[in-house]
């Protein structure tokens, strides 16, 4: 589904290399976890894949469903099914959550040459997902993320994800700020989205999340590249032993 | 119920974003000129021109005298320079002061008789001449009476009969001078006197058209009244004069919307709007202004020097100004409230957007004279490109204005790093019991927010439009439904190309 080859990215006009020849392949239907020490480049990977400004890709390639991902604008990647659950979701003052989401959904659908989703269908779906995620209807009317707690913001990311039904999902530290109950709710939502044609990349610092979202593969990202990989049990080992031996 | 309303609103907002996406081809959508024959007064300004205008309007002597006095006064005045705007010297002799569509001579009785070219212009503008629907037998069309001002002469005045039933007078000012001279004589120039300021005095001398509204005591005007101004003749200055009187216990909501064709020459616009609000009456005045702001190099564009003032003359009278200012090369405008009657209140809700090389110096004056008068100011300024914007506001309390209260909030949003935003609040109080609050914020549209929106599938321009509309939401919500959609579109159109 996504093939990352030798990806190298720098910031500050090339003065600092964050990703250093990273290669990774996530086949459709699989969930891969990326773990690693602070500053290893985990968030950078998520931003480079989604096309944020400020990163210069100096080498490597990313093939996403047969397309050259790095040549696409962020919104084109979104329309092609790329979704990033942000580590720190942004506040959008004055824009009610439902309006934001409907605008986003229809923008994506238009880009894909699809009809807009009719209002009643949209509402019905939103209500169902909000109920599943235990999000109060009142929150959907409020400005997106404004005055939400950290946990609420994370839950709102998952809400958006479930509404948009992306093909490839990147979750950046989704577990931070969530208590155990919220974590379970969020994980249930994510697991419900597991499908043969959908891939996921779960970025996390702690193994805890992976008890709920069990990955097919676990990779260690250190010094800008994948330095070790294993199965779900590998995450437990990492938790126990730490990342020291992988860091340079 | 609330949800239904939200769906409707969401639907409209979504539609807006779509609509805007379709407008990319031409940044200034309305940049065309229609070629309806004009009947010009010769170029230039002198006493004869003033007489010519008055004669064209078939005005009584008192009106001509009023104009001539103002003209004589204007000759002795100097153009003000205190505003934070910079423009080349205006050559007042190099403009036309009167232009009227020729086909208006016999006065059309219905839309059928209206010059088809004219209707075509409105069609291009997308102006909802609701009467077209009504005439075509469209059921449930919202009632909006339109006194359409095409250049200088009102061409279509609609719904007169329905308004007449409740005694509301809504007609071109020139007609009011003929038919209701006693009302015009009693109120015209009493809020903005001929001596008020350079541009208002000029307007007094040469104004050629505008609207007149009178709402009798106790009447709630059954529809929103609206006027679409549109400048159409090359080099024709617009000198509109609007006079609205809400008699005791009455209510009216008035909408003013503007678009102008593209041109190279600067156009001078010096309008005067006077609102008179008597005891327990209320006027809600909403404006959407998107005159030609000038080209990418900042050339051309409308000079908009407007004097708008409301006089709350009775107890508990109420005025609210809502404005969305996106156009003009230069904007100089301070819709004000004189809170004379005890317990009267004034509101000012403003969105001003400047892009390219636009300059705006705008704000309001809340003059508290009566006891327990209240005022509220919410100003949202958005600067992009190389534009400059100033909020200039005065809140004052006379010594008799005990218990006066004001709340002011000025928020500025900067897009890019070449624009400027300035806030100049003047606060004066002569009574210790007055309570004035002022809050101000300045923020920058963040790259992080933009990326977040784009990651969700919005194009950069849609993202800007969404974020800015969010920033303005408090004020957009104050607009009547008819205007809210147009205003949101304008917000988006005005900021096209401002990022990246």
Same domain (yes/no): B256, B288 = yes
- B309 closest CA partner among B279, B337, B278, B332: B337
Q: Tell me if residue B320 falls in helix, strand or coil.
A: strand
- Residue B266 has a pLDDT of 54
Query: What pLDDT score does B30 carry?
Result: 47
Nearest Cβ partner for A78 among B449, B455, B466: B455
Looking at the partner chain, which of B13, B458, B472 has a beta carbon nearest the beta carbon of A107? B458
Whether residue B181 is found in the same domain as residue B235: yes
Residue B114 sits in the same domain as residue B1: no
Using a CB–CB cut-off of 8 Å, the residues of B that contact A are 6-7, 9-11, 13-14, 17-18, 21, 446-449, 451-460, 462, 466-467, 469-474
Are residues B182 and B246 both part of a single domain? Answer: yes
- Collect all residues of chain B within an 8 Å Cβ-Cβ radius of residue A160: 456
Question: Which of B298, B333, B368 is the last residue in one of the domains?
Answer: B333
Place of tokens 């009785």: B109
The count of CB pairs under 8 A between chains A and B is: 103
ipTM of the complex: 0.96
Whether residues B47 and B23 fall in one domain: no
Confidence of residue A246 (pLDDT cuts 50, 70, 90): confident
Cross-chain Cβ contact A92/B470 below 8 Å: yes
> Does residue B371 lie in a domain region?
no
pLDDT tens, residue by residue, A114-152: 999 999 999 999 999 999 999 998 999 999 999 998 889
Query: Which residue range(s) make up the domain with B1?
Result: 1-30+449-500
Q: Cβ contacts (< 8 Å) between A84 and chain B: which residues?
A: 455
Read off the pTM: 0.78
Regarding whether B240 and B127 lie in a shared domain, the answer is: yes
**DSSP summary character for residue B393:** E
Say what the pLDDT of residue B162 is. Answer: 75
pLDDT mean across residues, chain A: 93
- Rounded to whole angstroms, the maximal C-alpha distance in chain B is 67
- Tell whether B228 and B177 lie within a shared domain: yes
B154 shares a domain with B270: yes
In this prediction, the residues of chain B whose per-residue pLDDT falls under 70 are 1-40, 99-161, 227-237, 258-266, 296, 298, 482, 496-500
B465 CA to centre of own chain: 22
For position B39, what pLDDT does the model report? 64
Other Cβ atoms closer than 10 A to B264: 11
- In a shared domain, residues B300 and B184: yes
Does B387 map to a domain? no
Structure tokens at A141: 């009317």
Return the higher-pLDDT residue of B137 and A42: A42
**How confident is the model at residue A176, as a pLDDT?**
84
In chain A, which residue's Cα lies nearest the Cα of B13?
A99
Residue B131 Rama label (left phi>0; alpha psi -120 to 50; beta): alpha
Q: Are residues B102 and B236 in the same domain?
A: yes
CB contact under 8 A, B451 and A74: yes
Rounded to a whole number of angstroms, the distance from the CA of A94 to the nearest CA of chain B is 4
Count of beta carbons in the 10 Å neighbourhood of residue A64: 22
Judge whether B436 lies within some domain: no
pLDDT given at position B312: 97
The answer as to whether B293 is a domain residue is yes
Shortest Cα–Cα distance, B153 to chain A (Å): 40
Residues B62 and B80 in one domain: yes
Determine the residue of chain B that is closest to A160 in CA distance. Answer: B456
Lowest mean per-residue pLDDT among A8-12, A159-163, B4-8: B4-8
Q: According to the model, what pLDDT value does residue B2 have?
A: 42
Confirm whether B104 is domain-assigned.
yes
What are chain A's domains? Answer: 2-241 (3.40.50.300)
Residue B57 in domain: yes
Closest approach of chain A CAs to the CA of B19, in angstroms?
A: 12
Give the residue numbers in A contacting B (CB under 8 Å), as ranges.
Answer: 50-54, 73-75, 77-79, 82-84, 86, 89-96, 98-108, 110-111, 116, 119, 123, 141, 143, 160, 164
Contact B449 A86 (CB under 8 A): no
**Does residue B14 form part of some domain?**
yes
- State the helix-helix crossing angle for B47-56 and B61-75, rounded to 10 degrees: 150
Q: Which chain B residues are within 8 Å of A116, Cβ to Cβ?
A: 14
- Among B11, B21, B457, the residue with its CB nearest the CB of A79 is B457
pLDDT tens-digit series, residues B330-389: 889 999 999 999 999 999 999 998 888 888 899 999 999 999 999 999 999 999 888 889
pLDDT tens per residue across span A177-209: 888 888 999 999 899 999 999 999 999 988 889
Statement: residue A43 has pLDDT above 70: yes
Does one domain contain both B181 and B83?
A: yes
Inter-CA distances, A135 with A141, A155, B269, B336, Å: 11, 8, 53, 45
Number of domains in chain B: 2
CA distance A81 to chain B (A): 9
Final residue of a structural domain among B333, B359, B382:
B333
* Domain stop point among B281, B313, B333: B333
Residue B412 resides in a domain: no
Closest CA of chain A from B467, distance in Å: 7
The 3-class SS string of chain A reads: CEEEEEEEEEECCCCEEEEEEEEEEECCCCEEEEECCCCCCHHHHHHHHHCCCCCEEEEEEEEECCEEHHHCCHHHHHHCCEEEECCCCCCEEEEEHHHHHHHHHHHHHHHCCCCCCCHHHHHHHHHHHHHHCCCCHHHHHCEECCCCCHHHHHHHHHHHHHHHCCCEEEEECCCCCCCHHHHHHHHHHHHHCCCCCCEEEEECCCCHHHHHCCCCEEEEEECCEEEEEECHHHHHHHHHHCCCCCCC
């Amino acid at each position: 589904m996504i093939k990352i080859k030798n990806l190298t990215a720098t910031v500050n006009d090339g003065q600092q290399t964050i990703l250093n020849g990273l290669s990774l392949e996530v086949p459709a239907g699989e969930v891969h976890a990326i773990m690693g020490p602070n500053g290893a480049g985990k968030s950078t990977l998520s931003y480079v894949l989604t096309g944020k400004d400020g990163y210069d890709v100096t080498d490597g390639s990313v093939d996403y469903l047969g397309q050259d991902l790095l040549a696409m604008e962020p919104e084109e990647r979104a329309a092609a099914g790329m979704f990033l659950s942000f580590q720190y979701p942004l506040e959008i003052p004055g824009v009610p959550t439902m309006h934001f989401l409907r605008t986003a959904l229809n923008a994506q659908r238009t880009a894909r040459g699809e009809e807009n989703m009719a209002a009643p269908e949209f509402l019905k779906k939103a209500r169902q997902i909000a109920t599943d995620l235990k999000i109060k209807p009142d929150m959907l009317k409020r400005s997106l993320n404004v005055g939400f707690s950290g946990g609420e913001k994370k839950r709102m990311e998952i809400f958006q994800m479930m509404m948009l039904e992306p093909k490839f999902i990147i979750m950046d530290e989704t577990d931070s700020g969530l208590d155990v109950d919220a974590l379970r709710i969020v994980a249930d939502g994510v697991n419900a989205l597991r499908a043969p044609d959908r891939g996921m990349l779960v970025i996390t610092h702690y193994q805890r999340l992976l008890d709920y979202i069990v990955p097919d593969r676990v990779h260690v990202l250190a010094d800008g590249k994948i330095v070790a990989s294993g199965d779900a049990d590998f995450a437990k080992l990492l938790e126990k032993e730490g990342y020291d031996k992988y860091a340079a | 119920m609330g949800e239904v309303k939200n769906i409707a609103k969401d639907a409209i907002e979504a539609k807006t974003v779509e609509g805007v996406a379709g407008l990319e081809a031409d940044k200034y959508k309305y940049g065309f000129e229609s070629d309806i024959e004009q009947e010009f007064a010769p170029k230039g300004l002198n006493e004869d021109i003033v007489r010519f205008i008055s004669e064209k309007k078939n005005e009584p002597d008192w009106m001509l005298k009023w104009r001539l006095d103002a003209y004589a006064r204007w000759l002795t005045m100097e153009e003000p320079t205190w505003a934070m705007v910079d423009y080349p010297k205006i050559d007042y002799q190099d403009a036309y002061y009167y232009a009227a569509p020729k086909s208006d001579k016999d006065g059309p009785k219905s839309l059928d008789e209206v010059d088809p070219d004219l209707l075509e212009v409105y069609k291009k503008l997308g102006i909802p001449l609701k009467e077209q629907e009504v005439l075509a037998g469209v059921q449930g069309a919202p009632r909006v009476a339109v006194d359409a001002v095409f250049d200088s002469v009102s061409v279509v005045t609609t719904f007169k009969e329905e308004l007449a039933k409740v005694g509301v007078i809504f007609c071109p000012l020139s007609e009011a001078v003929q038919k209701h001279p006693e009302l015009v004589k009693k109120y015209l120039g009493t809020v903005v006197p001929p001596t008020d300021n350079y541009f208002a005095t000029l307007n007094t001398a040469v104004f050629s058209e505008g609207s007149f509204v009178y709402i009798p005591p106790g009447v709630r005007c059954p529809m929103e009244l609206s006027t679409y101004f549109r400048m159409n003749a090359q080099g024709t200055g617009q000198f509109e004069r609007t006079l609205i009187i809400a008699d005791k216990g009455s209510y009216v909501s008035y909408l003013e919307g503007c678009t102008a064709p593209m041109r190279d020459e600067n156009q001078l616009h010096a309008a005067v709007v006077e609102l008179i609000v008597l005891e327990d009456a209320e006027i809600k005045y909403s404006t959407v202004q998107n005159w030609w702001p000038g080209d990418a190099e900042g050339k051309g564009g409308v000079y908009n020097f407007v004097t708008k003032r409301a006089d709350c003359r009775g107890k508990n009278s109420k005025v609210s100004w809502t404005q969305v200012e996106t156009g003009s090369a230069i904007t100089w405008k301070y819709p004000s409230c004189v809170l004379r009657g005890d317990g009267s209140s004034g509101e000012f809700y403003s969105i001003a957007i400047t892009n390219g090389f636009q300059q705006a110096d705008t704000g309001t004056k809340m003059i508290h004279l009566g006891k327990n008068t209240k005022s509220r100011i919410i100003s949202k300024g958005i600067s992009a490109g190389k534009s400059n914007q100033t909020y200039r506001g005065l809140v004052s309390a006379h010594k008799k204005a005990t218990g006066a209260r004001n709340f002011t909030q000025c928020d500025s949003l900067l897009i890019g790093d070449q624009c400027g935003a300035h806030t100049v609040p003047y606060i004066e109080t002569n009574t210790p019991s007055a309570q004035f609050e002022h809050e101000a914020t300045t923020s920058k549209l963040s790259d992080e927010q933009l990326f977040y929106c784009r990651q969700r599938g919005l194009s950069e321009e849609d993202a800007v439009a969404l974020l800015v509309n969010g920033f303005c939401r408090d004020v957009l919500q104050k607009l009547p439904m008819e205007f809210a959609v147009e205003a949101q579109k304008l917000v988006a159109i005005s900021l096209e190309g401002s990022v990246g």
